[in-house]
Homo-oligomer: A and B are copies of this chain.
Amino acid sequence: MNGAESLVRTLLAGEVDVCFTNPGTSEMHFCAALDKIDGMHCVLCLFEGVVTGAADGYGRMSDKPASTLLHLGPGLGNGLSNLHNAKKARTPIVNIVGEHATYHVAYDAPLTADIEGIARPVSDWVRTSADSKSVTSDAAQAIAAARTHPGAISTLILPADTAWTDAASVATVPTQENPETVSEAAVENCTQALQSGEPAMLLLGARALRAPTLEIASRIVLHSNAAMRSELMSARTERGAGRVGIERIPYVVDEAVKVLDGIRHLILVGAKAPVAFFAYPDKPSLLIPQDCEVHVLATAEQDIAGALDRLSDSVGAQSRLPDLESAKRPELSSGELTLEAVWAGVGHFLPEDAIVSDESITSGRGLHPYTRGCPPHDWLSGTGGAIGRALPEATGAAVACPERPVLCLSGDGSAMYTVQALWTQARENLNITTVIFNNRSYAVLHGELRNVGAVPGPTAHDIFDLDRPYLDWVAMAESMGVEAVRVDTAEQFNTALAAGFHSSGPMLIEAMV
């Protein structure tokens, strides 16, 4: 058994059995090992941003790490942006990055780069294996690190000679530790805040946004007459009819400040104190009122469900019934394809158990109210703010949950960053319906320029608009083997969306909004 084989066997022993990959020469022994050993589902992507974004989507939906296989520093570099998103989402991922043979690095061959340096800003754990005998124990520790609750990014760098030299027998992967229990003081402190008689809000993030946990939070706020919100962006929110609905802290600073106005106690449950997505002249960074006290019930790393359960006990809310969304779908629109018409169509047709990967930016701002009464579904959003996330994320989510329909919502600008994901969707025949909001611009930037007090002139217009030349999304999708249709009216959109949800493979709808 060589190092590459010991790596594959260790990954499988650690239940890491999916590998999103874009390999190169330095990973050849790993590829050869995949041919010798059964059990690893290899998913080829044509660009590394798709690899890492798919691993993010997979991890969010399966709560366990996929592996990635990347080619030296530049391959890792191409995947950096979606690793940034995944790190902020606390998604478990095990990156395997090939490196030159240990003795070859000193010669500064063309692909030589500071791989650890590139990895560190987007990784929670980084290691370069020293020799082939260390590969299996290093891999076991990489898996254990990635499984740190609720998830972390491990990057294991494997010099080529560690892959082709004889290895040790497969190491045992440490069992996953339970998340830390929060202290009694934290529960007591939050109890007092809720019982103070002053306005309080629970701010939920991370695993607090799973359905059973949301029910406990709902009981607490109903009983305590407190407010409840989720962070603006969440890795995964379980929502829909029969579940607790939760509104987000708004993106626009003035709106967020208004939502938080008057709150005297903000209780953080897997969330961080809300801050502006960007800074603007004469606007605050921290969005809470100056006299608001912040209490941490549980961090994202701690046992959130247990903490909420104890808080519910402590405030006496255990017999309360949570406030559940009732089933309700919007009527279909007709005529012009407005954004509202798209939102209505999505709300009308979203299938039960759907996974929504949302990167619709400006075009999707009204989607939440239109879908709150849909059958139960999961909503994935952009925790790290880096665009080019949704198409790969949808790809990975569909690999994790092949039996569930995936809806991918993307602006035309953001979809272009990692458009290569469509090819993998076709290759794996994934059940993904992608809606491209083709507004022929970086619409968000027109608004942001006004936000900073500037009026777009000809140069700004020119670099925010994507209509010269026109991006033909139907041709784009078809070039990569994905069936596609362009829609100009609400009726056409509704027909296409229903067809997308009914078909088993990928489909793309170019919505001319």
Contact status B78-A459, CB under 8 Å: no
Contacts of A471 in B (CB 8 A): 423, 479-481
Contacts of A285 in B (CB 8 A): 101, 103-104, 107, 109
> A420-B416, A459-B31, A471-B423 are contacts. A23–B445 as well, Cβ < 8 Å?
yes
- The smallest beta-carbon distance between A38 and chain B, in angstroms, is 9
Contact status A417-B47, CB under 8 Å: yes
Contact status A25-B77, CB under 8 Å: no
> A residues 405-455 with Cβ under 8 Å of B?
413, 416-417, 419-420, 423, 426-427, 444-445, 448-449, 451-452, 454
Is A59 part of the binding interface, using a Cβ–Cβ cutoff of 8 Å?
A: no
Contact status B109-A276, CB under 8 Å: yes
B-contact bits for A89-124, CB 8 A (1 contact / 0 none): 000000000001101100111110110011011100
Minimum CB distance partner of A109 in chain B = B275
- The smallest beta-carbon distance between A194 and chain B, in angstroms, is 26
Q: Is the interface of A mostly helix, strand, loop or mixed?
A: helix
Contact status A426-B277, CB under 8 Å: no
Contact status A31-B449, CB under 8 Å: yes
Most buried by B among A25, A118, A233, A416: A25
Contact status B110-A384, CB under 8 Å: yes
Contacts of A160 in B (CB 8 A): 278-279
Is A360 part of the binding interface, using a Cβ–Cβ cutoff of 8 Å?
A: no
Contacts of A417 in B (CB 8 A): 46-47, 78, 420
Contact status B107-A286, CB under 8 Å: yes
* Contact among B104, B459, B470 for A34, CB-based, below 8 A: B459
Contact status B46-A462, CB under 8 Å: no
Is A485 part of the binding interface, using a Cβ–Cβ cutoff of 8 Å?
A: no
- Given the complex of chains A and B, what is the CA–CA distance between A35 and B454 in angstroms? 10
Contact status B25-A413, CB under 8 Å: no
> A residues 20-74 with Cβ under 8 Å of B?
21, 23-26, 28-29, 31-32, 34-36, 42, 44, 46-47, 49, 73-74
Contacts of A278 in B (CB 8 A): 25-26, 100, 104, 109, 111, 160
Name the segment of A10-18, A80-88, A168-176 touching the other chain. Answer: A80-88
Is A475 part of the binding interface, using a Cβ–Cβ cutoff of 8 Å?
A: yes
Contact status A463-B23, CB under 8 Å: yes
Is A460 part of the binding interface, using a Cβ–Cβ cutoff of 8 Å?
A: yes
**Which A residues form the contact surface with B (CB < 8 A)?**
21, 23-26, 28-29, 31-32, 34-36, 42, 44, 46-47, 49, 73-75, 77-78, 80-81, 84-85, 88, 100-101, 103-104, 107-111, 113-114, 117-118, 120-122, 160-161, 164, 232-233, 272, 275-279, 281, 285-286, 382-386, 388, 413, 416-417, 419-420, 423, 426-427, 444-445, 448-449, 451-452, 454, 456-460, 462-464, 466, 468-476, 478-481
List of 8 A-B pairs having minimum Cβ-Cβ separation, nearest first: A469-B481, A77-B80, A35-B457, A74-B386, A101-B279, A475-B479, A32-B454, A110-B385
